[in-house]
């Protein structure tokens, strides 16, 4: 990632859930996107900080909140001098498959003096010329982002997670990251698997563009299904299929989608519904089927998958 230092955790969920409370404590302010994943929500809950949600990917909303905070600060400058401010976003959101507008975020960061924590579980190994994530994709210097956290369970197909950034920021977690100090370390087998995966990524930088091609292809192929709409960027390897018109009750929607998944499974296409804990989520996303693409799937397979999903959807929904 071309950063000064990185720290490894033995579990992907625990990575961001331990990193956030290590820096943000009671009395600090965190601006977080509504569609943030559950691990981030738990990290925020553990940190006991003041949480301000802004609408998904809406920079105007975030700016409004930052301006309000600035007005508050001017009323109480002494308190403002010790309150830290953080913006927590994801590179590619797991819940919606969209990308965050990083250049505008960096501008907001310098104007309002907040630090950015970027969670790149989905975009690490996917975006950018060499797979270095959303910073490479937008061409932003990696030093502008204070902390990048990712889990190795998606692109690297291992277990665990890492945080990388400048030594000034990362070294603090060695004594105060709960998932680091109070937990067993990663088994060497899994670490070796991750190292090998990273070596493969460095040696074949061509696979990233191949992956993006395949994502675009299947994205296009699934566009025309009546009854289902595709949610997510065209180059995101994990996107969602949501019902175009919901039946009104979440349970009914879930049942319909499950039928589609079951029929697809009968025709040997493995799909899954995106699972959420309904009572625990801050902002519950609508029920959807998550479609994930691998670089190993051939074009014919992708075509067949798209066709099957189309047929099944038409059969079930009409």
- Residues lying near another protein in the complex (CB under 8 A): 4, 10-14, 17, 23, 37-39, 42, 45-46, 80-85, 110, 113-115, 143, 151, 153-154, 156-159, 166-169, 171-172, 174-175, 178-179, 181-184, 186-187, 189-190, 193, 270, 272-277, 280, 290
Q: Which strand ranges, in their side-by-side order, compose the sheet holding 5-9? A: 5-9, 161-165, 147-151, 115-119, 85-90, 29-33, 50-54
> Smallest distance, Å, CB 132 to another protein?
20
Continuous segment of H or E residues that includes residue 231: strand 228-231
**CA separation for the pair 114, 250 (Å, rounded):** 37
**Nearby residues of 33 by Cβ (< 8 Å), 6 or more positions away:** 53, 54, 56, 57, 88, 89, 90, 93, 100
Residues 127, 1: contact at Cβ < 8 Å?
Answer: no
> Smallest distance, Å, CB 245 to another protein?
25
> Smallest distance, Å, CB 5 to another protein?
9
- Dihedral sign for Cα atoms in the order 124, 126, 129, 131: positive
> Smallest distance, Å, CB 45 to another protein?
6
Residues 245, 317: contact at Cβ < 8 Å?
Answer: no
CA 134 to each of CA 111, 123, 219, 237, 292: distance values in angstroms, whole numbers, following the listed order? 21, 6, 20, 14, 19
Reading the block at residue 266, the tokens are 């009968």
Considering only CA atoms, give the Rg of the chain: 20
Residue closer to another protein (CB basis): 142 or 313: 142
Residue closer to another protein (CB basis): 13 or 208: 13
Residue closer to another protein (CB basis): 246 or 272: 272
Residue closer to another protein (CB basis): 29 or 89: 29
Residue 78: exposure state from Cβ atoms within 10 A (0-12, 13-18, ≥19): exposed
Residue closer to another protein (CB basis): 138 or 276: 276
Residue closer to another protein (CB basis): 249 or 279: 279
> Smallest distance, Å, CB 266 to another protein?
16
> Smallest distance, Å, CB 288 to another protein?
12
Q: Rounded to an integer, what is the distance from CA 292 to the centroid of its chain?
A: 14
Residue closer to another protein (CB basis): 85 or 245: 85
Of 213, 221, 212, 209, residue with least CA distance to 303: 221
Residue closer to another protein (CB basis): 12 or 133: 12
> Smallest distance, Å, CB 318 to another protein?
27
> Smallest distance, Å, CB 82 to another protein?
7
């Amino acid at each position: 990632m071309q950063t000064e230092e990185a720290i490894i955790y033995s579990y992907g969920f625990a990575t961001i859930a331990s990193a956030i409370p290590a820096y943000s404590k009671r009395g600090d302010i965190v601006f977080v996107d509504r569609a943030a994943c559950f691990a981030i929500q738990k990290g925020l809950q553990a940190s006991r900080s003041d949480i301000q949600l802004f609408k998904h990917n809406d920079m105007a909303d975030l700016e409004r909140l930052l301006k309000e905070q600035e007005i508050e600060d001017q009323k109480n400058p002494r308190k403002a001098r010790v309150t830290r401010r953080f913006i927590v976003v994801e590179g590619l959101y797991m819940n919606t498959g969209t990308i965050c507008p990083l250049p505008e975020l960096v501008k907001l960061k310098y104007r309002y003096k907040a630090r950015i924590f970027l969670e790149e579980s989905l975009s690490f190994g996917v975006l950018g010329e060499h797979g270095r994530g959303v910073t490479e994709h937008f061409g932003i210097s990696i030093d502008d982002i204070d902390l990048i956290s990712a889990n190795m369970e998606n692109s690297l197909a291992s277990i665990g997670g890492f945080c990388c950034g400048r030594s000034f920021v990362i070294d603090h977690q060695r004594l105060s990251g709960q998932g680091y100090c109070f937990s067993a370390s990663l088994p060497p087998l899994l670490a070796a698997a991750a190292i090998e995966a990273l070596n493969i990524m460095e040696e074949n930088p061509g696979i990233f563009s191949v992956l993006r091609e395949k994502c675009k292809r299947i994205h296009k192929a699934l566009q025309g299904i009546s009854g289902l709409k595709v949610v997510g960027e065209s180059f995101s390897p994990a996107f969602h299929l949501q019902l175009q018109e919901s039946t009104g009750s979440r349970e009914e929607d879930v049942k319909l989608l499950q039928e589609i998944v079951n029929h697809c499974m009968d025709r040997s296409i493995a799909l899954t519904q995106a699972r959420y804990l309904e009572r625990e989520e801050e902002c519950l996303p609508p029920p959807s089927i998550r479609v994930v693409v691998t670089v190993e799937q051939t074009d014919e397979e992708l075509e067949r998958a798209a066709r099957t999903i189309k047929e099944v959807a038409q059969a079930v929904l009409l």
